[in-house]
Amino acid sequence: MSKPFVMLVDDEADFIDTMSKRLEKRDVKVLTAYSGKEALDKVSKNQNLEVMILDVKMPEMDGLEVLQEMKRHYPLTEVIMLTGHATIESAIEGMKAGAFDYLMKPCEIDQLMEKVRGAAEKKRSQEEKIQKARMEKVMSTRGV
């Protein structure tokens, strides 16, 4: 599997710095954003993004709002929700809105990597199916 392309979104700069270094050491391409708005702006310029690791509690635009926007505009990009303030309600809400998974902060890097790989694999698989369906449609319209 080629390098997963991940965006870390959190308003805590120390968390982003530490986590991006740890992910890069594990052969992950990392893009960072310090707010929901910045994340959505960057995604529009990086549409090959596979996985967003998203903090739930952020000022201005919280993680659930970002998740909903992501699923509206980039439905194949997988989102892993992270929070230090997990509640069952926010986890359920995130999963209903289309989050790939939900982890508590601080999380083990190996656990996060397992989720990142699974999410990237899911996105790649969905893209493959779409490509295959498009090819089959083209072939059938040409009588092949």
Continuous segment of H or E residues that includes residue 18: helix 13-25
The reported pLDDT for the residue numbered 86 is 62
Mean pLDDT of all residues in 21-43:
97
Q: What is the pLDDT of residues 85-114, one digit of tens each?
A: 766 778 788 999 999 999 988 889 999 999
DSSP class per residue in 51-74: EEEEES--SSS-HHHHHHHHHHH-
Mean pLDDT of all residues in 1-21:
94
Q: How far apart are CA 122 and CA 139, in angstroms?
A: 26
Mean pLDDT of all residues in 29-38:
98
128 C-beta neighbours (distance < 10 Å), count: 10
One-letter amino acid at 133 equals A
The reported pLDDT for the residue numbered 27 is 96
Structural tokens at position 22? 């740890």
pTM over 0.85: yes
